[in-house]
């Protein structure tokens, strides 16, 4: 790829300091992804500028106007602390006719709502667990006919397993009522309840627009899980390193899957990506039951790109180092055609 002007947009509190590469990793973990992207793109020879985004769009427009980037490498995950505004921020980039990395706004909206995305996936024949949506206005909660306990209770639009713990798995109407009310109160969000799939937790990472590169099936497991606990991605697993280490949190290429099963899982992930009109890159989260049935749990657009996390490691497993992965993501951004490019003149 030719050398480009790349504007990396990050949250203002996550701009790596000038000496970040000299610091201990324990001091850089909060902005490690931003640092990995910045340092790797610079090492590849691109002209890189990192810009911290606050609560005003005008400086973003000014920076784009002065730097004139070939592409914006977008690492913004919310705006005004509102996760659903992530898609609106990307819409703003499109209004500026600025090429960017990652998913388009439409795909972000569809995938970002767990209830809406499951309705679309089910309509398109992509396997998902039975589910129900309980808006914040809900007073009484009961499972629809045909749904069975145990179920898991989640916030509809939050990231990072917000509000998810072992208590999220409920087995009775009374527990369901309490947990839904708890999530409404603490997460200020609609709630999605889905049948809990006992089994293995899998992910498939994908890059592309019209042509997709689907990486190997990855797996999450817990080698020291306490007796009676379920293997789920609790919020503490993602944000508390000591807790994750204590329960033996590990990830790696999925174990003991025959090639036909791997292809089946990758095909399901690819169909989910297409059904939700995604572009750029995303990670599809799935669970496989003890009987071998595979279900899509959710789809994460603009997934974590930290060099030591699953997305990058899955790419490396098939020969794409971290620099290759970032170049693939940039190429997907440059080749994506937003609406303004398709307007007849």
The per-residue pLDDT for range 36-95, each reduced to its tens digit, is 999 999 999 999 999 999 999 999 999 999 999 999 999 999 999 999 999 999 999 999
pLDDT tens digit string along 286-340?
999 999 999 999 999 999 999 999 999 999 999 999 999 999 999 999 999 998 8
**Which of 328, 304, 235 minimizes the C-alpha distance to 31?**
304
Task: Give the pLDDT confidence of 217-269 residue by residue, as tens digits.
Answer: 999 999 888 888 888 888 788 777 888 888 888 999 999 999 999 999 999 99
- For the entire predicted model, the pTM comes to 0.94
- Structural domains of the chain, with CATH: 5-100 (no CATH), 130-195 (3.30.1490), 198-335 (3.30.470.20)
The whole-number pLDDT of residue 345 equals 54
């Amino acid at each position: 790829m030719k050398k480009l002007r790349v504007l990396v947009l990050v949250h203002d509190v996550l701009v790596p300091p000038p000496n970040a590469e000299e610091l201990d990793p324990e001091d850089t973990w909060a902005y490690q992804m931003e640092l990995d992207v910045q340092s790797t793109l610079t090492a590849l020879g691109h002209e890189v500028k990192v810009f911290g985004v606050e609560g005003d769009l005008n400086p973003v427009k000014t920076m784009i106007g002065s730097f004139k980037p070939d592409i914006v490498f977008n690492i913004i995950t919310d705006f005004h602390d509102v996760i659903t505004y992530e898609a609106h921020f990307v819409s703003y980039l499109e209004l500026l006719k600025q090429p960017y990395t990652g998913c388009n706004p439409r795909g972000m909206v569809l995938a970002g709502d767990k209830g809406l995305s499951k309705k679309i996936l089910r309509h398109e024949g992509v396997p998902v667990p039975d589910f129900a949506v309980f808006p914040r206005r809900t007073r009484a909660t009961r499972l629809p006919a045909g749904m069975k306990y145990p179920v898991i209770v989640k916030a509809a639009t939050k990231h990072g397993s917000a509000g998810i713990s072992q208590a999220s798995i409920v087995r009775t109407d009374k527990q369901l009522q309490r947990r839904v009310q708890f999530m409404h109160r603490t997460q200020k969000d609609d709630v999605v309840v889905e049948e809990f799939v006992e089994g293995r937790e899998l992910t498939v990472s994908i890059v592309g627009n019209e042509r997709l590169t689907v990486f190997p099936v990855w797996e999450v497991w817990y080698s020291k899980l306490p007796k009676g606990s379920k293997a789920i991605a609790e919020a503490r697993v993602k944000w508390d390193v000591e807790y994750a280490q204590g329960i033996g949190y590990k990830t790696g290429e999925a174990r003991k899957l025959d090639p036909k099963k791997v292809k089946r899982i990758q095909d399901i992930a690819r169909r989910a990506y297409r059904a939700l009109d995604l572009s750029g890159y995303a990670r599809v989260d799935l669970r496989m039951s003890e009987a071998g049935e595979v279900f899509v749990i959710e789809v994460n657009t603009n997934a974590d790109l930290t060099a030591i996390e699953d997305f990058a490691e899955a790419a490396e497993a098939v020969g794409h180092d971290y620099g290759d992965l970032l170049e693939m993501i940039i190429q997907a951004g440059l080749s994506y055609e937003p609406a303004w490019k398709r307007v007849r003149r």
